[in-house]
Structure 1
């Protein structure tokens, strides 16, 4: 697939790194910063074009006429929308995706559905990050909670700790511990190495365990991996930007929420906003120890830092944790920082580029792939693919899972058939229109997995 990526910021760079590393794609990156593009070209197999991404001449030089898809990820909503319109009108680019942050646009879907702006799919990183944090707050103890099949099933990552009933026991005993719960452990990371688990695999303290289960069963499975945390009641949010306000709005009806904003004018705007009603807005510096102590940070169930500065997020989350906050989370855009804090004081490092990447990949994957989650700094993927066709034209329909030629490191974890969620077993037979959930330990195998779900 010939793909144009407009914008070489953190999200654009992450998308380019992922797509340029796949043999099936030819990637061109457009940005106005020549220095940034030169650095990208030195380490990626991708073309680069310097210029304004919405200008017809720049898009022509980038090859918009021959492109299969344009992904507009600049920091300007207006440039992204205009670029998609220009690509559609002048170059007939078939598929157009735009990053649009302002709710002033996204609240008016008629702008996009009625052809005013030729955008096929809108991506809002702020909305995706907000939903991601919401899930973590709903399931205390989880490192990740990822949705499939419109919420019918979730993939959860958890750190195994002493107190979990299954620690030191083989996985085959899981069904004895929670006999009425359907779940499947799909991968274990131990010392940074991925393991495809079998029945005799023993869960050890410190393992990062990925399991799949229906939403209603998640807490039961979590209790097998660690001592269950109490439900979260008090949440402190550092940062009154788009994510902070969205998160406060989402949580304030079910939690006691405080929002800290350093800038006086912004704090006033947020406190007077009609979007939030019950949240206590505080003007202050979340990296100030005295301020946090005065606000009783030690009584907070969760402290989450969502400012625009990675360094401030890391420092404030580390400080809040040291001062007694039960759980500390930080939004971190730079991959190098994410890896540094992954095993440190901060409980959860949240990567907006990685969260956004999964949504982008769902539009790039071949076959009817409807959901993609990028995992472990893009080393692994979990996908949801729909099986189409019949036994004569499909590589999976009518076959038992044990007879499907999956690449090494890829496993079918669950199947959603209508409203029914089924954990995959070796003799489970795939039927037409099944939603198949797969875990791929090594994303380099994704091409082979995609081909399995192509018809013909």
Structure 2
């Protein structure tokens, strides 16, 4: 049961519709009609905080209730209300990190079994992407031992025209797939890399970073100068995450009171009070010399404008928050390096709880065209004790074993590798065959 059919709720519903019985509760009749028309779900108009509405939607049959409205308080009330009549697993989406901190200190508070803070998961995604040169998407698995990175290949890249076998010089990295002109290609050694390809690789952070630099038209130095534009909740958390990794970012905020508050909250951040659309100010503060500029203003239009201003001034990489999912590709097409959608980041965090078996992490790629899963093998796993070559022969097309983590050590997957209980297996899967693959692990 999903309450709220905005970007987050709709994304989750679309991901689950083919494999789960999904009920969505939404107050907006237009969204209800749209869901019933476009997805194989039951969309019900009503208030998810109303116990009678929940009962009419058969909450007694729900294995999970996901509260995904745009209101933190509403999502907490929904979770608490659900718990009054059932012991179903509840997930609440919130925006304020303070609520997450409170919940973490008193696990199970508010009747919430799992809480996702949109601003925090977005900030962490921004940091991951910023830390890998030329990356368009980055996710970590096995506590950071493994990275999945999606890289865009420019026309002048040294790997253009090479086969995957020629480009693959790394023992601890696996080429998984290429997205080309809307098509997903699971690569072989003979696949030729073309300009414009988005390559998905899985491996150790050092190997992934080395390949990112090798495939780039110019090598990026280590990130030093980070500028966050906009003191929104996402901007606040982004500066905090960079601080936690040893950086001393600069943050630009127009509102005086908000700037003062942020200056008190962020001890390692220099907070500057100014309008980020003031080109003279940006030039005077050398924003064009920044390694990364993250734009977190209150609208997509302003985020796009200021990102392009920063690029024009010379900033090496720009990362912009995009609130409208359909704008992501547009942002990147007109010159923004990376567009990050907070709602998709939140949906991705929630979806892993709906997977069968022991799925530890889920990363969705190219608007859920494919997924990368981390699965922990236990004694009931069908693949435990089997060789990788034999397992792969039973899998459908569109699947790549990207990496194996065993007792804190990264293993490069090879044909003779034998899966063991306790292994964490990182798997690239075409979304079309996802439902056939997960039960096999």
- Which ranges of structure 2 fall in alignment gaps of 5 or more residues? none
Q: Which moved more, 1:246-255 or 1:275-284?
A: 246-255
Work out the CA distance in 2 between the residues paired with 1:154 and 1:106. 26
Equivalent residue for 1:156, pick from 149, 153, 176: 149
8 Å contact from structure 1 (residues 310, 331) kept in 2: yes
TM-score by length of 2: 0.93
Aligned with 2:93 (options 81, 95, 99) = 99
Alignment check: 8 A CA contact 1:183 1:423 kept: yes
- TM-superposed CA distance for 1:449, in Å, is 0.9
Residue 131 of structure 2 corresponds to 138
Greater length-normalized contact order (CA 8 Å, ≥ 6 residues apart)? 2
Distance of 1:62 and 1:282 partners within structure 2: 50
3-state SS in 1 of match to 2:214: helix
Q: State whether residues 335 and 377 of structure 1, in contact with CA within 8 Å, keep that contact through their aligned partners in structure 2.
A: no
Cα distance in 1, alignment partners of residues 325 and 368 from structure 2: 10
Deviation for aligned residue 1:437: 0.8
Cα gap change, 1:41 to 1:294, in 2 (>3 Å): farther
Partner of 2:322: 332
What is the RMSD computed on CA atoms of the aligned residues? 2.1
Task: Name 1:417's counterpart in structure 2.
Answer: 406
Residue by residue over 1:135-179, the C-alpha shift from the partner in whole angstroms, topping out at 9 and shown as x without a partner, is 12222222122111111111111122467554432222345x45x
Residue 27 (structure 1) aligned with residue 22 (structure 2): yes
Label 1:7 to 1:308 Cα distance change in 2 as closer, same or farther (>3 A): farther
Q: How has the CA–CA distance of structure 1 residues 10 and 185 changed in structure 2, closer, same or farther, with 3 Å as cutoff?
A: same
Contact 2:213–2:220 (8 Å) recurs in 1: no
Contact kept, 8 Å, 2:133 with 2:213, in 1: the verdict is no
Equivalents in 2 of 1:382, 1:46: separation in Å?
25
Give runs of aligned pairs for residues 89-128 of structure 1, distance below 5 A: 89-90=84-85, 92-109=86-103, 112-113=106-107, 115-128=108-121
What is aligned with 1:173? 166
Instruction: Summarize the alignment of residues 338-353 of structure 1 with structure 2, pairs less than 5 Å apart.
Output: 338-353=328-343
Contact map agreement 1:149 1:416 (CA 8 A) in 2: yes
Cα offset for 1:239? 1.4
Segments of 4+ in structure 1 off by > 4 A? 162-165
Match of 1:444 in 2: 432
Aligned length: 437
Counterpart position of 1:9: 6
SS state at 1:204 partner: coil
- When normalised by structure 1's length, the TM-score is 0.90
Tell me how far 1:72 sits from its aligned partner: 0.6
Partner SS state of residue 303, structure 1:
strand
Change (3 A) 1:99 1:278: same
Matched with 1:262 is 254
Listed as ranges, the matches of 1:165-314 within 5 Å are 165-174=158-167, 177-178=169-170, 181-226=171-216, 227-252=218-243, 254-271=246-263, 273=264, 275-314=265-304
2:424 and 2:98 mapped to 1: Cα distance?
34
* Stretch of structure 1 that moved more, 146-155 or 99-108: 99-108
Change over 3 Å in CA distance of 1:445–1:233 after alignment to 2: same
Structure 1, residues 283-308: CA drift from partner, whole Å, max 9, x if none? 33323434323332321221111224
Distance 1:47 1:61 in 2: 12
Give the alignment of 1:81-92 within 5 angstroms: 81-90=76-85, 92=86
